[in-house]
Each structure stands twice: as C-alpha cells, then as structure tokens.
Structure 1
Amino acid sequence: MRAIGIGLIGWGTVGCGVIQTLRDNAEAIENRLGIPLKLLKVADLDLDRPRPVDVPRELLTTRVEDIMNDPDIHIVVELMGGLGAAKTFIKQALENKKYVVTANKALLAHDGNELFEVARRNGRSIGFEASVGGGIPIIKSLREGLAGNRIDTLFGILNGTANYILTRMTEGGLSFGDALREAQAKGYAEADPALDIEGTDTAHKLAIASAISFGTPIQFDSVYTEGISGIAPLDVQFGEEFGYCLKLLAIARNTDGRIEMRVHPTFIPRDHILAGVSGAYNAVHIHGNSVGNIMLYGMGAGMLPTGSAVVADLMDIARDILANTPERIAPLAFLPERLSLIPIKPISDISTCYYFRFSAVDRPGVLSKISGILGANEISISAVIQKGRQTEGSVPIVMVTHEAVEANVRKALKEIDELNVVLAPTQTIRIENQETTHRD
C-alpha cells in the first residue's frame, strides 16, 4: 500500500479545512504514519461556487458513486451534514467495506447507535472526533486519555454561537437580537440560527459525550433542552449584581444509578473557571474518579479547527488499517455488549439553585405573597433585589434560592403566575455553584 486513499463528500467550510490541513501538514502526517494520506475524490452537488480552498478539477465529482466504487479509496469523509442522505451514504460506505469519518453530530445523536452497529457488522469503524467540540479533542480524551476512570460529571460550553451572543450581552450590554445579528455578521451564526440558539446543537453533542462517559447507548431524546432566545439584558444585569455570569451549559451527571442530561441557560459564579470562556470559544469540564477535575478548552468550530479534528480521525484510522486492527477502540469506549441502558433522571427530579424575576404590581404585600408560596413549596430564598418601577404598573422582584427540587419550583411558579398581582410569566434561570459543578 503506497497511500491511504481519502474520498470527501461535502466541499463546504469544514471540507475546505480538511483539504487545507492535509496539504499544509502533509509532511508531518506522513512522518507520523509512515505513509501519506492522499485525497482522491471530492464530491459535491455545486462545484462552481467560490471557495477558500481550490481542488484540482480532475478530483471533483457530483457523483457520490465515484467515491463509493473506487477501490483505492479506503476512508470516506462525510461532511455534508443533515440526516437523510448523509445516513444513506455512511451506511453505503461501511457496507462497501470503507471506513468513515464524520463531523455530523445531529446524525450521530439520532442514529449513531444504528450506524455503529453497521460498522461493527462490516468490520469497519467510524471516526467522529469533530462532532463534539470542533478542534477540542473531547472524544479522544474520554475514550482514551481518561479510559482508566469512572466519569461521573461532564459539563461545559459546547456551542460557540450561543456563547458569543451571551458574551456580547454581558460585556457589551446588547439585546439578544442585536447580539445575534452581530454574530451572523461575523460568521459565528447561520442565517437560520435555531439549532444553536435553542440549544439543540449543544444537546446533540451532550448526548454523544454522555454515552461515551457513562457507558450507555446514545439517548438524545432524553436530553432536557432550553435555549437562550428568551434571555433579556435585564436578567444578565441582575445576575451580575448577584455575582453570576450567564452561560448556555451542557450538564451531565451519573449519580445513584441515573443519568442527568440537560442543556439550558445557567448562572455560574463570576470566579468559576468557565466564566472566563468568552466569545466563540468552547470548554468542557470533566471529573473522573482517579484524575479528578480537568478542563479542555479551544475553538469549538471553524474551518481549520474542525478540519484538524477530522484529519486526526483519518490518521487514527490509517494506523488501524496499516495494523489490520479495525475498530481497535469501541465507538462509545465501552464494548458494545457491555453498554447498559442507564435510566435518565427527569428534569422534575433535579435539585439546584434558581434565579427568579417576577414582574409584579407595585403595591405593599406582594413580596410576602410570593415568598409565602415559595416557602409552602419548600423553596428557601437566599437573596432578594427589588428595584423601582421599570415599566408602567410593574416592578421587577428578583430572587436567588437555595437548592430546591425542580418539581416544587414548577408547582410554586404556576401558582405565583396565576396571582392577579403578577403581570407576566416568571423568568427562571437555573444556577450551578462551585459545590455543584466541582467534585474533589
């Protein structure tokens, strides 16, 4: 074998990053592998639009079959995204006895369990480092670097778009809409940003990382998800007064035989290690029973960071091909027959601290009514801020609670929001303090 042949499906931003990385680092790659990685075909439906990285015309095709049927192509890289056609092409590649690399976190979150089984039946493997955290080696760290640990906690910032928006709302005082438009202008947000701002993209990544961490099949449908589109500058400001910074957090824990998986806006202390992760950067904090607390930080997206992760997978698979050891490491770290379907802890059972902002009528006795309902539902108040009138007829009453059970919080807020002195639904943001996010 003179080279490992690569076929690329999807000549977009990440595809350009892969091609550029293969070119820029060809000598280092060959020195590490002892054999070159050679790009043989690039398939895309649109071959004419301008791109930042050019490809020789003879390598271009609009026919995926030209990749699938080429015996010199050993690894197929799927970078087209989406669920339907991408799944079909990955299955076809595996059934044609080709290895696969993908950055498609949505597809893996929905259908990864099935695709990993197809790979196993065909004696091949799927590399997917770029699907979680872009250029940050989260998958490799969980599957290999931390393989000797029992992972009990994983949480972090896994979406650069949302983090950029919240950073600008915090540091620049922007509204959500203005921060989103700025993110789009800078290329950090898509024209349709729904997957990012509503938390779905983060939930895809959390489902994959949690499965690897805890030894369970991917359970995306069980991830509780809230986005950031309902966050107002007023809440960011009040959070700062309490000493908090707002982030869209992915949180996973394995405790008492149940897994907690949730994505939502979260207040964290200003001195928390994640509070300093700003702009489009990502970071993930992991606790293992032997290693303790570690954090991985870097660019979670982008042409070259994501391209770097794809090429790392290509190199790992190339080593397996050369050693004739397909699927040397199980896709979800645990042997498939040792994966167990661990029950998911419903959001109603979680216990954490809360931030509430009530829009109330400006009259005596309102605060006592609200606090009375909270107390009756076993919710203890830690701190209160009451400002002067902000809009005609209402004043904001802002509270931070001690730890409370979510089911009790929902019951109490339903009763409070039905009071004739409360003029709008209560804004609720969960809080993670140092003691709940760190284990020693």
Structure 2
Amino acid sequence: MALDLQRNWDVCMAENLERVKQQTDQRNIKNDDTERSKAQESKTWHSPPVYLPDEIIIQVLEYVSRFQESQYTLASCCLLSRQWYRAAVPMLYASPYLYGKNFDPFQTVMIPSRNLHVRDSPLASLVKVLDLRGLVHQASRRITARLLGRTKGNLEAFIAPQASFGTNSFAALSKCEQLRVLDLSLVSESPPLFELLKTVSRLDNLTTFRLPRSSGFSTDVNPASIAWPRRLENLALSGGIDAHFMHGIVAFPSTLRSLTIEHCPSAKGFALMHMLRAAVRPLPNLEILRLANLPRLTGSSMDNILFVLPGLTRLSISVDYITPAIFDFDVSSHREAIECHYPTLPHAESLPTRHQWTEGKQCELRTLELTNSGNPGVEDKISPIDIVIALDEGALPNLRQVRVDKTLLWQANATAADVDALADALKEAAIQRGEDESASTGVWTF
C-alpha cells in the first residue's frame, strides 16, 4: 500500500514539473516575441523623411570632396537617392582618382562606343581634371586620344601618363578650348616638339604648361619660330635644352609670371645666363624662378642670378650652383660686366620690366628656397649666417621666408642656433617695415 502511494506521488510530481516547464517556456517565448516586436517597432520610420534642399546637400558634398578618399564616399552618396545622385555625380567625375585597378571601368564609361557619332557618354562632359599620372601600362595611346576627345568639352587640366601619350592625341588636345593646365612632365617618349608647341599655341586659355623631360630642343626647332599660348603664366622647361636653343633665344610670352628650368642635362651655365639676361629679364611680369637638376652647371655659375633678375619675389635654386657671393650686391663693377656681356633682345627693349636696376632699386626677393640636386659635399655651401649677414647689410630688405631642403642639414645641432638667429632677423626686418610678422615669416625645412 505504501509502495503504491509513493509511486502515485512521484507521478504527480513529475507531471507538475513538466507543466511548470511548459508554462515557463511559453512565457519566455512570449517575452521574446514581445521584445522582438518592440525592436521592430523602434526601427520602423513612422514620420516622413526629412527633405534637404539641394544647396545643403551640395555644401556637405563640397566639404567631403576635399579629402583624397572622397571618391568612395561620393560613390556611396550616389546610391542614396535620385536627389543625392544628381548632387554627387558631378563631383565624383570632376576630378577622378585613376589608377590601374579602376581605369578599365572608367574608360568603359567614358568610351562606350568606338564610333564617336554613334554613342556618347553623358558623364564625359563632367570631367574637368583628367589625371593619368598613376597609369603606366594600363592605357594605350589610342585610348588616351579617345579620352581626350570625349572629355574635351569642359576639360580644364590634363596630366599625361608616362607611356601612352603621342601625336595621335594632338587633334583632340587642340580642341580642349577650356584647358588651363597641361602637364607633360612624365612623358617618357616625347612627341615631335615643333608639332607639340604648334598644337599648344592654339589653346587660348592655357596658363600652365610643363614640357616633357624627354623633349629635345635640337637644330630642327627654331627658337624664334616658337609660338606660345597668349595667356601662358607658368612654364616649365625640361629635356634637351642646349646651347643652340639658348643662344637662338626663344621669345617668351610677356604674360609669363613663373619659369621653371629643371632636368636639362645639356644646359651650360654661360648659355643659361645668356638666355635669362636676353630673353627672361625683359619680361614685365616674371616673379618666380626655379632652377634644379642641371648637371652641367658649375658650383658658382648662378651667382649673378639676383643681379640679372632683381624683380624676382620667389627664387628656388639648388645650392650646387651658387655661393654666398649671390648676396654681394655692392659689387657695382660686377653688375656693369653683366650688362655688357648680355645684350637685350631688340623686340623686348620697348617692354616695361621689373628687372631693371634704377636709382633706389632694391632686390624684391621675398621667398628664398634652397634645394639640393644630389651632388655630394654641398651641404655647407650656403649657411644661415650667410643670409643673416645679407639681411644686416641691407642686401635683401624684402626677404621674409627661407625654405631649406632637409638634406642640407640645417636642422642639425651645429646650425640650430644659426637658424634661430636667421628666423629672428627675418621677423625683425618685417617689424622695421611695419609689416605683420605672422606665420608667413620664418625658416622652414621640407
């Protein structure tokens, strides 16, 4: 009897335990469903989307487009809505960042058909900067010519690739009427120079032009026959500039404000100075000059540069070609010798120029940049003390900034105090003239 009661009790307890477990499971399931439904309700957008005017979206995108990685952000913005697409796609294609992996999709969009009159891309007119410097073998000369032909309508800047720019691009290049910047400095195989200059001369809006480092100025190019764009302001000469070119004297445009001469293995010091004196000095607006990587120049061949061009406001020069004598403006006999040895071009005598020495004339140099072309033993050719002495003697009354290549070791412990003294001298000169000695005055290394 007792055994039966015990068995019935165990069965009842087991049933009660199972019933409690089922109730608990049901309660947990109900709670999970409730929480899930609440979570879904919280994610549901019950109010209408906020409308942003196009002006605000454009302002946001203009801020985003300042950064280098903005291309991926702008591409994502194009997928948000039609309104965001209309605002973002012009910025996405205005200056695309092109490299090996994304070039094929880009050129497929720009050139959907080989026949120019059959199918055109509506996005081609949005390209304003075509920068192909990141390409080596991904493109061909035929594709480069087609890209120029498709984007010529609003193209403002073109940077040519290293290996895929040739004469077949000249026809399309001559029709880029809005082009302002043409950079061919990376082109490894230069096209015929005379044809290139003839094509470029038709670009009336071009202000910046960089010649290829492989360009050859030989006897087949008459310097006197070279025509430049009528609004050209910044010119970079490089390549095979030789004595024939310099003594033949090219007539530079009077609108030129900046001239760069670099990577010219055939340029000699005397011929270069002759060109600066006869063809560059008469220019009325020239303010900036850069000289670098000219291996045939001697250690003091450019000491006369500030005598010849006293109106320069910015000079960037390698210390390989100068000595502290560059600041010796009191040697009047030296100046007269320069005047005698370098006659002025007849066509330039009537032009007003900022580089004539007159009574009370002072050197107008405001920024001096010292670089290094890589030759050994030039680190101590120009020291901070040399410039401090020139400031004390009044040779450089307008100098406010000195920028120095790190390889010249001005930041070393031995010259650190001299650099501080130079910075103080520059600020004191600014104060004496009543100028604001702010962040624009001092010494920097780069």
Q: Which has the higher contact order (CA 8 A, sep 6+)?
A: 1
TM-score, with structure 1 as normaliser: 0.25
Q: Which has the higher strand share?
A: 1
Larger Rg computed on CA atoms: 2
TM-score, with structure 2 as normaliser: 0.25
